[in-house]
């Protein structure tokens, strides 16, 4: 299903490019836009994860630079039956995490320093298990493509407004209209492509992988408010990127694809008593409030 949604997204982007190309350049402009769209589709499919990570200024860490965090992800990945993903830390006070990549073999997971500082060891493990749940459920391809394609749509609108206003008075009103419609159109694409049920699915997977649904419920309760209050610079630049996060940011209402945090917590607490859970993470926590050493300076 995610593969079909991805194909539909690429087709929609191509049609949008061609429509704008025809608006500004007639049939010749439409053909040029078709070529550009085809190249952009191919580039986005293979590089969307890199675009998302660069958008967040994420830095990759390993067993030497962030042993606690990396070791935790390694253990959780093994428990989930997944290949070891690349691991990143984002220097941001916004407490959040996300997963990206076109498949489990090319996946990456990231957490912000704000999240690592705010949560306990078990809560961080539960959050990262949620992100690995997205990887195992193969949600990451469509999530990553949506973030980059919706960002591209906004870029197209800005370009059209600039291009249409130069020596082409007839096209200028169309460019202005296109610019006004692009953000809602991008939001519509996000809403159509991303199902809210995917968060419940990743939450259930996290409960299975980490063995601690209560820890994830606690983490969601702690970070939901700060995530809305503290800006995410990446999501400010591209609001569609907010749908990648475990909890929405304060600027993502138009693009919201998350169910209410209270409902997610209730569902997790219902799982708490539904049966025996596997053993919890054996990676030892550090002393002090923060469970992990983010090693921010590398």
* CA-to-CA separations, 61 to 70, 164, 220, in angstroms, rounded: 7, 44, 24
Active-site residue (options: 131, 208, 262, 272): 131
Is the Cα dihedral 148, 103, 14, 16 positive or negative?
A: negative
- Residue 281 parent element (H or E): none
DSSP bridge pairs for 143 = none
Q: How far apart are CA 290 and CA 59, in angstroms?
A: 20
Region of 68 (left: φ > 0; alpha: ψ -120 to 50; beta: rest) is alpha
Contact between residue 272 and residue 214 where contact means Cβ atoms under 8 Å apart:
yes
Does the active-site annotation cover 131? yes
At residue 49, what are phi and psi to the nearest 5 degrees? Answer: -65, -40
Q: How far apart are CA 91 and CA 39, in angstroms?
A: 32
Q: How far apart are CA 168 and CA 164, in angstroms?
A: 6
**What is the bridge-based pairing of β-strands 97-100 and 59-61?**
unpaired
Was 199 annotated as part of a binding site? yes
SS3 of 167, please? coil
- Choose among 263, 282, 138, 262: nearest CA to 212: 282
State the catalytic residues: 131
Please enumerate, by residue number, every residue annotated as part of a binding site. 130, 134, 199
Annotated binding site for Zn(2+): 130, 134, 199
């Amino acid at each position: 299903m995610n593969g079909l949604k991805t194909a539909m997204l690429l087709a929609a982007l191509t049609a949008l490019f061609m429509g704008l190309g025809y608006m500004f350049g007639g049939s010749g402009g439409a053909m040029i836009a078709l070529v550009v769209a085809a190249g952009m589709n191919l580039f986005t499919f293979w590089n969307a994860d890199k675009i998302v990570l660069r958008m967040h200024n994420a830095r990759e860490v390993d067993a030497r630079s962030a042993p606690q965090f990396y070791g935790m992800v390694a253990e959780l990945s093994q428990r989930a039956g997944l290949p070891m993903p690349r691991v990143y830390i984002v220097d941001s006070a916004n407490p959040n995490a996300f997963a990206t990549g076109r498949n489990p073999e090319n996946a990456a997971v990231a957490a912000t320093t704000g999240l690592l500082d705010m949560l306990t060891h078990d809560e961080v493990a539960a959050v990262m298990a949620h992100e690995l749940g997205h990887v195992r459920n193969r949600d990451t391809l469509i999530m990553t493509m949506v973030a980059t394609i919706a960002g591209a749509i906004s870029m197209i609108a800005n370009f059209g407004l600039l291009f249409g206003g130069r020596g082409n008075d007839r096209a200028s009103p169309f460019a202005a209209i296109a610019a006004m419609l692009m953000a809602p159109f991008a939001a519509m694409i996000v809403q159509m492509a991303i199902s809210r049920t995917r968060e419940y699915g990743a939450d259930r997977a996290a409960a299975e992988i980490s063995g601690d649904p209560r820890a994830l419920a606690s983490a969601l309760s702690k970070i939901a408010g700060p995530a809305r209050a503290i800006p995410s610079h990446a999501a400010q630049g591209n609001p569609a990127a907010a749908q990648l996060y475990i909890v929405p940011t304060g600027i993502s209402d138009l693009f919201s694809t998350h169910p209410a945090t209270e409902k997610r917590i209730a569902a997790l607490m219902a799982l708490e008593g539904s049966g025996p859970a596997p053993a919890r993470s054996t990676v030892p926590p550090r002393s002090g409030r923060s469970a992990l050493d983010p090693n921010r300076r590398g």
